[in-house]
Structure 1
């Protein structure tokens, strides 16, 4: 697979203003952020433990609507050495939740010239449906390599055998959809799963590490090459989390631990000057983290085009 063609201007399809991909070089590692689309969710999901008036003020300051807004869905393709790695797989088919603008990954990989058969490894930050669903789209499994390795934390696979939703604050329908998708994914891809404990090097300079919090096996992927660093933080980071890292997101199964993980990772990113990419930060989600008093500040990159 080559990511070179992603840097060459191409004519967008009529239904898209720009190609929904963005390339970054981390030393000798090629990185491509691909948008899986967006999904509308209630703004309360950003901080269900926050004072409603404070949350409303933050939304106003960010020029965001008070009721619901579009959450980005970002996926990453990495090429390191001879391996091509897909980090998370997007939503896939709409699981009866009226999310028609999400689940765009497969067609956008095709538009970028990325052959599914070239993917040697998949790394899952966790097994929520917007991270595994793309692998369940009809016809996708047949296009993947028979020796494909899917790396996921052992704690994550164990959790979805009997998931606990007692601490989440999700819209109706989501818990059932999450359970059903995780169960189906585990059944269809059981032979491809490669479980790890706390940390695993997937390819040269590509290390996945379990953080817990968002889900028991939630993990982040760190890339390092030639002095450059990038962290794909999955669902550990949300747009509001820089100014209010203690706000609980409605999809967090252990929100208190998720907040502790978020602060720890934000401090690491600020200290190491690493690039940050996360699933639900606005596309292309590439930037740095700076310390801002008792909180943090998101510094998006200037687009290179």
Structure 2
């Protein structure tokens, strides 16, 4: 099955109430947004530098509970010519963190008819466990191509040799789990890593660019074909980051720089009227960015049926 055959998102699997994949085209490039599931985290994660009452008020305005945050977890598959590129790999399996609603990527790729052996490249926006964990699931590495290329910023690889968690605000257990997943990933995929400096063209029209901020090597992926454009922003943008780009996310290793990156990226996308997909925006997360002064707004795209 090609990506073209998955272009009708209203066909969930037999055990799902809602779709878990959404296909669109960027010029001649096929794009599939795949839901890896949902992460349930403390509400404080979305803005640990603000008054809890202000944060609770924002959550209330969004019809969300004040103490629990449901984070979508999105992955993107890009197909251009003979290249099939997986952008991030989801959570995988980490039962110690009690996140049973995520880690669905491998199952959902199979349901979409995408054979792991067809993946020629993996691009990692960064090496947090919810972006590399799917590649650590038992049996996955054996099903991937021997000549698979894994593209990640050199600064990211360097960071995880001795990661700094002094500026984060994570729930207990997460720093150790993140460190463990990154170390295991580097050990298992060392020979297939293709580190880049600031920017690298993975395939025609598929460019990965380091932004830093969230992690030192955090990167975004920009697609361009014909007159069409699309940016996968990874963890540079969260739902609250449109209205409150200065709120610190608990997983940001350099919150001030992450804020600068977020504002700069949102202004670029608003000026170019370029659509956006991000890891933790509600599935399928395709939206445009509107701006009024210092406040941004996510305008969901109309689904293409």
TM-score scaled by length of structure 1: 0.98
Post-superposition offset of 1:14: 3.5
- Please list the CA deviations of residues 253-275 of structure 1 after superposition, one character each: whole Å capped at 9, or x if unmatched: 00000000000000001011111
Decide which moves more: 152-161 or 47-56: 47-56
Deviation larger for 145-154 or 86-95: 86-95
Task: Check whether the contact 1:291–1:297 (CA below 8 A) recurs between aligned residues.
Answer: yes
Divergent runs of 4+, >4 A: 8-11
| C-alpha contact 1:81 1:204 (8 A) present in aligned 2 | no
Cα distance in structure 1, aligned partners of 2:227 and 2:302: 20
User: What is the aligned partner in structure 2 of residue 299 from structure 1?
Assistant: 299
| Residues 209-224 of structure 1 aligned to structure 2 (within 5 Å) | 209-224=209-224
Q: CA deviation at 1:69?
A: 2.2
Q: How far apart are residue 15 of structure 1 and its match?
A: 2.4
Tell me, what secondary structure is at the counterpart of 1:213?
A: coil
- Counterpart-to-counterpart distance in 1, 2:130 and 2:23: 22
Partner SS, residue 86 of structure 1:
strand
SS in 1 for 2:96: coil
Quote the Cα distance in structure 2 between the aligned partners of 1:257 and 1:10. Answer: 39
> Where does structure 1 lack aligned partners over 5 or more consecutive residues?
none
CA displacement 1:87-120 (0-9 Å, x = unmatched): 0000000241000010000000000000100000
Aligned to 1:31: 31
Determine the C-alpha separation between the residues in 2 that align with 1:300 and 1:218. 24
Offset, 1:293: 2.8
- Asked if structure 1 preserves the Cα contact closer than 8 Å seen for 2:24 and 2:32, the reply is yes
Residues 118, 145 of structure 2: 8 Å contact kept: yes
Q: Secondary structure at the match of 1:142?
A: helix
So what's the TM-score if we normalise by structure 2? 0.98
Distance 1:9 1:298 in 2: 21
Once the two structures are superposed, residues 9-67 of structure 1 have per-residue CA deviations (whole angstroms, 9 ceiling, x without a partner) of 78633421133000111001100000000010011110000122211111111000000
2:272, 2:68 → 1: CA distance?
Answer: 34
Any conservation in 1 of the 2:7–2:24 contact (CA below 8 Å)?
Answer: no
Residue 2 of structure 2 is matched in structure 1 by 2
1:47 partnered with 2:47: yes
Structure 2 residue aligned with 1:145: 145
1:164 aligns to 2:164 (yes or no): yes
Alignment-derived partner of residue 73 in structure 2: 73
Aligned length: 305
Two-structure CA RMSD over aligned residues (Å): 1.1
Aligned counterparts of 1:150 and 1:4: Cα–Cα separation in 2: 25
* Rounded Cα–Cα distance in structure 1 between residues aligned with 2:11 and 2:303: 19
Is 1:178 the counterpart of 2:170? The answer is: no
CA change 1:26–1:53 in 2 (3 A) is same
Aligned residue runs from structure 1 range 1-305, under 5 A:
2-8=2-8, 12-305=12-305
Given that 1:90 and 1:134 are in contact with CA atoms closer than 8 Å, whether structure 2 keeps it comes out as: yes
Give the direction of change, closer, same or farther, for the CA distance of 1:143–1:171 in structure 2 (3 Å limit). Answer: same
In the TM superposition, what is the alpha-carbon distance from 1:70 to its structure 2 partner? Answer: 1.1
Distance 1:95 1:198 in 2: 35
Counterpart of 1:96 in 2: which secondary structure?
helix
